[in-house]
Amino acid sequence: MPALVAISDLHLGAPSSLLSDLTVQESLAEHLGKLGRIDNLLLLGDILDLTMAPRLTAWNKASAFFELLFKAANNIGNIHYIPGNHDHHVWSMLSDYITIVAPLEGTGRNSGEGGRRPLGDPMFCGEVGPKHETFLHCLFPAAIRNRLHIRYPFYRFLLGNKLVIAHHGHYFDWKICPLAMKIAKASPDNMEQAEECNAAWIESLFYLLTIGRVSRTFLKRMYGIYQKLEFGLRWWTSATGPGGKKLGGIPISRITRLIHLLQREPTEYTLLFGHTHSAERWQSKAGSIKLVNTGGWNIDDPRSEHPVVESVILVGEHDADDLETRKLQIDDDIIASVAEKARSALGSALLS
C-alpha cells in the first residue's frame, strides 16, 4: 500500500513514446493496479508531448491512456500533475485561466481590478486544484477529477517525516532555464522570476514552433543548425557555471544551487525529478540531500540499433526511508517496433 508512486516523461502522443504501444500501456496500468491502494500518484512532467505531437493527437492519446490507467489502478487517492517542458503549455493555459478567466467569472483568485492582470504582475506559480474543472481535468475520467491537483513548478510534501521536493527537472537543463536567464541577464531570487525567463523561452521552443506545418518545417531546419551550435552554447552556459559530478548530464551543484535559491530554506530533502530520462541517484556524503530521477518512457534516439529506455516507476512506502526504483521489462521487439515507427514519423530531416 504505497504512500507515493511517481512516474514521468510518458510523452503521450509522441511517436517515440513506448506508450504509443497498447501492450506497454496495459503493462504499466496492470503494474500500478497490483500495488493496491496508492495514496498519491505523482505525474512528474512531460506526460503529454505538445512538441513532437499535434495537439489533438496528444489530447486524444492522453485521454485514452488515463481511461485505461485509472480503470486498472482504481484505488488511487490524490493525483498530482507537475508539467514539464514538453507540456509546459498546459501550465500557461491554466495560469491564464487562474489569473484572467476565473476572476472575470468571479470564481478565481483576484488578479487586479476588473479581473485583469496589472502590468508587471509576476508569473503565477502554485496550484490549480479540483475546484476548477479545467480542460486538463477533463482529460481524466470523471470519477477522479475531484482528486486531481496541478502544481508548478515545484511541489513540496512530507513522506513520513522527510521533506520531498518534486520538479520535472527542466529548470536544471542548460538549454532551457539557465540559458534563458543568461540571455535575459537575470538573477532570479524566487520561482516567479525564474519562470518569467523560462516561460518565454520554453513556450517558443517547445510549443509555438511546432503547432503548424510551416512551423514544423522551420523547426526541422533549425534543428540542424542547433546541432552545429550546440557545443558553443554548452560552453557559453557552463564556462562560468558549475562543474563537477553530474546526474543525467546535469551538474549536481547546479541542481542543489537552484533548489536553495528557489526553495529558500531546505538543508535536508529528497528531490524527485525526471527530464533526463536516466534513472540515476545521488546523495550527499552526510545523506542529508538525495537526488532521485524517475527515468522515462521515450526513445531518445530512434536511430540507435539498441535503443535504451528507462521505463521505471518510483514507489515510496509509508514506513520506508527511501524510494524504490522499479523497472518494468519491455519486450525488445516492442521497443524496436516503436523505434521504427518513430523514425518513419519524424522523418530523415529531423533525425539526420
pLDDT value of position 227:
54
pLDDT value of position 83:
95
**Does residue 190 sit within a domain?**
no
Query: Does 234 map to a domain?
Result: no
pLDDT digit string, tens, across residues 267-322: 789 999 999 999 999 999 878 899 999 999 999 888 888 888 889 999 998 777 78
Count up the domains in the chain and report the number. 1
Helix (H, G, I), strand (E, B) or coil at 40: strand
pTM, rounded to two decimals: 0.87
Res 68: pLDDT: 95
54: exposed, middle or buried (Cβ count in 10 Å: 0-12, 13-18, 19+): middle
Quick one: pLDDT at residue 41? Answer: 96
Find the helix or strand (DSSP H, E) in which 162 lies.
Answer: strand 162-167
Please tell me what DSSP assigns to residue 247.
Answer: E
CB count in 10 Å sphere of residue 271: 24
pLDDT < 50 stretches in the chain:
110-122, 214, 237, 239-242, 348-352
Cell 523497472 sits at which residue?
Answer: 327
Q: Would you say residue 162 lies in a domain?
A: yes
- pLDDT at res. 186: 73
CATH number of the domain that residue 13 is part of: 3.60.21.10
The boundaries of the domain holding residue 292 are: 4-170+242-351
Q: What is the C-alpha separation between 180 and 199, in angstroms, rounded?
A: 9
Nearest to 247 by CA among 173, 165, 168: 173
Give me the phi and psi of 145, to 5 degrees please.
-65, -30
**pLDDT score for 349:** 39
> Does residue 196 form part of some domain?
no
Type and span of the H or E element at 269: strand 269-273
199 inside domain: no
How high is the pLDDT of residue 69?
94
Please give the DSSP secondary-structure letter assigned to residue 96.
H
Q: Where are the beta strands (DSSP E) in 45-146?
A: 76-81, 126-128
Element (H, E) at 325: strand 324-327
pLDDT at 217: 60
> CA dihedral in degrees (271, 41, 54, 52; nearest 10)?
30
